[in-house]
Structure 1
Amino acid sequence: MRGAYSLSRPRVDGPVVLWGGALPSGSLKYLTFSRYLAALPPGSRGLVELSGGSSALALDVLGRERGVPTVALTDAAGEAYLRAHGFQGQVRHADSIAKLWEHALAYEREGWCWPRQLTNAAMVACVESWASALRAHVRERFPKVRRVVCGFGTGATLVGLTRVFSTGGFTVTGLQPAPGRPLPGWRTWAHQNLGPEDLFFAHHQRVPLDTAAPASDGFTALMDWARRQARPEEVLVIAHNAREQVPAYVAASSAQA
């Protein structure tokens, strides 16, 4: 299990990063959905989800591994992102969440597996299953780490990490996008939620959220937040789809050699 994690500290005295981009679909969603789909209903015609980002990319890879097609329900911008990142499935558009939801329901009635990631509390348990091994790995390799930060999307990763890491004395924070600066796969709880049906609804009053400074992408926002903390070397950044970078101190050493 430990081989699934790519962890490093890009800068001396800077945060540690979990590089989700090293996984087969290029994001940590691969770990979560692979556990959820371990019980894929027999005879499922395919996989369908409301997503224009990491979830659709993970389901696309997992669908191909299982020999079933994947449909992503999103908008034009979401499709552009998916195609640019190698999505091979079908994409259907709609101009509102309500209509995308109707499409997903229609697929579900026809025998497709719809994980319902925005409302399905089972996703949290899927995250917990890989977060427990991650915590042990972090404690062994980076014992200084005491805080965890991740982007806030469905909330499943944030809640799962909080349940696992907080029992070990860590503090976990979810990061929302800066006002007027949307980031792929992230949302702002106050303005983008499904009410009581939302997966995060039962947790929003006790799981801390913070707001990122304006940034060009989620990884930059997370790293900026971590570096602004009093002790950035104690922070673990959960980078859902970022790929490992050569540590600055390693690059400097190579240049001097």
Structure 2
Amino acid sequence: MRGVFSLSRPQAGGPVVLWGGAQPSGSLKYLTFARYLAAMPPGSRGLVELSGASSALALDVLGRERGLPTVALTDAAGAVYLRAHGFQGQVRQVDSMADMFHQAQSLEREGWSWPRQLTNRALVACVEAWASGLRAQVRERFPTVRHVVCGFGTGATLVGLTRIFMAGGYTVTGLQPAPGKQVPGWRTWASQNLGAEDLFFEHQPRMLLATAAPAPDAFTALLDWARQQPHPERVLVIAHNAREPDPARA
């Protein structure tokens, strides 16, 4: 998957940014789920996931590419976010996580494919598949980069990046929301986890997690954190759904 990544340093002396919004769904989640769905057995009636952000948007695009409908199970804020970002599938607003799981299980029994992103450890390998190409590109174009930071959601991206980049001598940090601040697609591990069945559970003791300062959105939070590091020019920001500004519009 080398060559699919949009990388640049927006500001001299600042961090390098991976512009994940350059992907077909506007998110790096597209690469992860494309890999996962490649092994999906034929005959699925559609795709369903508990998501109100990038995962649902990626599955929506991938489903349309395969001629499959997509259902997103989410809360009120997630429903607003998905519609505002072009989600074309069915949004089911659900009040509780238990009810979301119940509805997903019902659809799964009816023949729908449910990636189970919160508990599916296979998704880590799907991240590793594209992270290896990313590391090669970063090493070639930005050899001074030594630290990677990404938002912390399910944890699959954080674990996959850590495995690949740590082997090359990098460190990787997952950024959690500021206290009392909701960030679409992010969560706080201490208060939002599924215990031992959570895909991040077994990796958590070895992962680096940090808390973002209050910011209006995920991309700003990531940039602010990177710029506060002793050497921001050595940091790579993984911006899942950000697009590089068009210089012509500047």
TM-score range, shorter chain: over 0.9
Corresponding residue for 2:194? 194
Counterpart of 2:15 in structure 1 is 15
2:127 equivalent in structure 1: 127
In 1, distance between residues paired with 2:224 and 2:245? 16
Q: Structure 1 residue 233 and structure 2 residue 249: aligned? A: no
Q: Which whole-Å CA distance do the structure 1 matches of 2:7 and 2:73 have between them?
A: 32
Report the counterpart of residue 94 of structure 2 in structure 1: 94
Partner of 1:159: 159
Alpha-carbon deviations, 1:128-157, whole Å to 9, x = none?
000000000000000000000000000000
Partner of 1:150: 150
Report the RMSD for the aligned CA atoms in angstroms.
Answer: 0.9
Deviation at 1:77, TM superposition (A): 1.4
Gaps of 5+ in 2: none
Q: Secondary structure at the match of 1:2?
A: coil
How far 1:93 sits from its partner (Å)?
A: 1.8
1:99 maps to a residue whose letter is D
Q: Which amino acid aligns with 1:140?
A: E
1:41–1:113 contact (8 Å) kept in structure 2: no
Q: SS of the counterpart of 2:172? A: strand
- Taking the aligned partners of 1:87 and 1:235, their CA distance within structure 2 comes to 32
Instruction: Tell me the TM-score normalised to structure 2 length.
Output: 0.98
Query: What residue is the counterpart of 1:50 in the other structure?
Result: 50
What does the per-residue CA deviation read over 1:155-206, in whole Å, with 9 as the maximum and x for residues that have no partner? 0000000000001000000000000011110000000000000010001111
TM-score by length of 1: 0.95
Alignment partner of 1:221 is 2:215: no
Q: Which residue of 1 aligns with 2:59?
A: 59
Structure 2 distance, partners of 1:116, 1:222, is 26
Is the CA contact (8 Å cut-off) linking 1:118 and 1:198 kept in structure 2?
Answer: yes
Q: Does structure 1 residue 85 correspond to structure 2 residue 93?
A: no
Structure 1 position 94, deviation (Å): 1.4
Shift of 1:215: 0.4
Q: By how many angstroms is 1:2 displaced?
A: 2.5
Equivalents in 2 of 1:82, 1:234: separation in Å? 33
- Summarize deviations over 1:2-25 as a string: whole Å, max 9, x none: 231000000001000000001000
Task: Find the counterpart in structure 2 of residue 172 from structure 1.
Answer: 172
Quick one: distance in 1 between partners of 2:181 and 2:89? 28
Q: Distance in 2 between matches of 1:241 and 1:201?
A: 25
Question: How far apart, CA to CA, are the structure 1 residues paired with 2:208 and 2:146?
Answer: 15
Q: Which residue identity is paired with 2:104?
A: A
Distance 2:6 2:243 in 1: 9
Aligned residue pairs total 248
Query: Displacement of 1:75 after TM fit?
Result: 1.3
- 1:27 is aligned to 27
Name structure 1 gaps, 5 residues minimum: 252-257
